Amino acid sequence: MDKIVVHGGHRLSGSVKISGSKNSALPILAATLLTSEPCTISRVPDLSDIHYMLTILSELGCEVERASGVVKIRAEKILSQAPYDIVRKMRASVCVLGPLLGRQGEATVSLPGGCVIGDRPIDLHLRGFEALGAAVRVTGGDVKVLAPKLRGATISLRSKFGSTVLGTDNVMMAAVLADGVTIIDGAAEEPEVVDLANFLIAMGAKIEGAGTRKIIIEGVKELHGAEHEVIPDRIEAGTFLAAAAIAGDHVRLLRVNPLHLKAVIDPLVDAGFLIEANGNEISIRPGVKRRPLKLDTLPYPAFPTDMQAQMCALLATTEGISVVTENVFPHRFMHVAELKRMGADIDLQGATLVIKGVPQLSGAPVMASDLRASAALVLAGLQADGVTEVNRVYHIDRGYESIDEKLNGLGAQIERMKA
């Protein structure tokens, strides 16, 4: 098992290329199950989660070729049951349910695994399938859905914690081959949902409203093969913006979509940083003085829960008192104890963090608990005095393509070693 060793105190400068979006690529790869014709997906990031998804598709009978960020898939003859040994490693594997149900009329998928960041049920996915006419059964750790024919319906995907991205993806993929019109009310508005919808449209689906709270899908009889380029990863981009804010002089992010990052850019500007967006580039410089923030996580287009931990690393050394409230995953604070080990002054009050900025963090051995917490601890190590060892970094490899190499390219001193 690897660990990442961060030697603090080195300033970042230069440019970094942002990879394709993990959270777009995973459902898009799953959507290739909807057609027997070849599909080509480009700008697919090299991540462990992507590897697991391609393994699942291979196990289901797909022909998979991968080279230099381009994946070619042909799902000519497929099975309807995904293997437990792979599914258990990644929560996003549940998104094969929708396309298998839509194309095969049935699907069996083990209950998924992934990060430990609180309760993340798939009841909304299943409720959507039932509304389309599927019978749903959960038994022996497996989810089984059966519907010889799906029929369009009006489906609400609202919940107390906001919209479900994977749930919206799953229902949309099932509905594209259903009879009649499906209306998803309370749909997730994230750019990754729009990206999936655009791929489905390229395959021949009829979808309107992606990126809004209401998506309208007119079912078609069949889909065909298509080519598609995955959008930039806005969370990776946000993480590098946070890294540059923590330890940067002048950093440029290349191959990004600034419109997807407004909810991260605006708070950084409020905190005193100088940020410019030009086409598909963003540059960030330190301002005169760093200021504390009040942040509330909410579904897109608000401040993303997937950036909460990284911003905590920044605010830990921002003079004054910052307040961060987690409204999406109220128990997503596993990184707090590790940041406190490094000297951060953080008080957890329910779902709210009160962060009193300290002048300096100290390097320490810390333990990664989930994907974004891992990134936050690496970022904290950039500004810490001494050496920070981040253990269990397999979490970070799920969602960041060569983060250590990219940071080193900006001037950091990071080593990957065997734990």
Residue 409 contacts by C-beta under 8 Å, 6 or more apart in sequence?
14, 16
CA dist 191 and 195 (Å) reads: 6
Place of tokens 């690897």: 2
Tell me how far apart the alpha carbons of residues 107 and 22 are, in angstroms, rounded to a whole number.
Answer: 24
Question: How is residue 147 annotated by DSSP?
Answer: -
- Distance (Å, rounded) from C-alpha 175 to C-alpha 98? 8
Active-site annotation holds for 115: yes
- Half-sphere exposure (Cβ direction) of 82: Cα atoms closer than 13 Å: 37
Cα(116)–Cα(90) distance, rounded to whole angstroms? 11
Task: Map residue 334 onto helix, strand or coil.
Answer: helix
Q: CA-to-CA distance for 410 and 14, rounded, in angstroms? A: 5
CB 30 within 8 A of CB 173: yes
- Tokens representing 50? 């992507």
Neighbours of 295 (CB within 10 A): 23
For residue 352, list its beta bridge partners: 325, 349
Q: Which residues does 307 contact at the CB level (< 8 Å), separation at least 6?
A: 235, 238, 239, 242, 264, 297, 372
What is the rounded CA–CA span in Å between residue 47 and residue 22?
Answer: 8
* Strand 281-285 to 248-254 pairing: antiparallel
E strand or H helix at 309: helix 308-315
Q: How far is residue 351 from each of residues 61, 176, 261, measured CA to CA in Å?
A: 44, 38, 24
Give the separation between CA 176 and CA 72, rounded to whole angstroms. Answer: 22
Q: What is the C-alpha to C-alpha distance for residues 332 and 104, in angstroms, rounded to an integer? A: 37
What are the beta bridge partners of residue 156?
Answer: 185
- Three-class DSSP category at 214: strand
Q: Which residues participate in catalysis according to the annotation?
A: 115
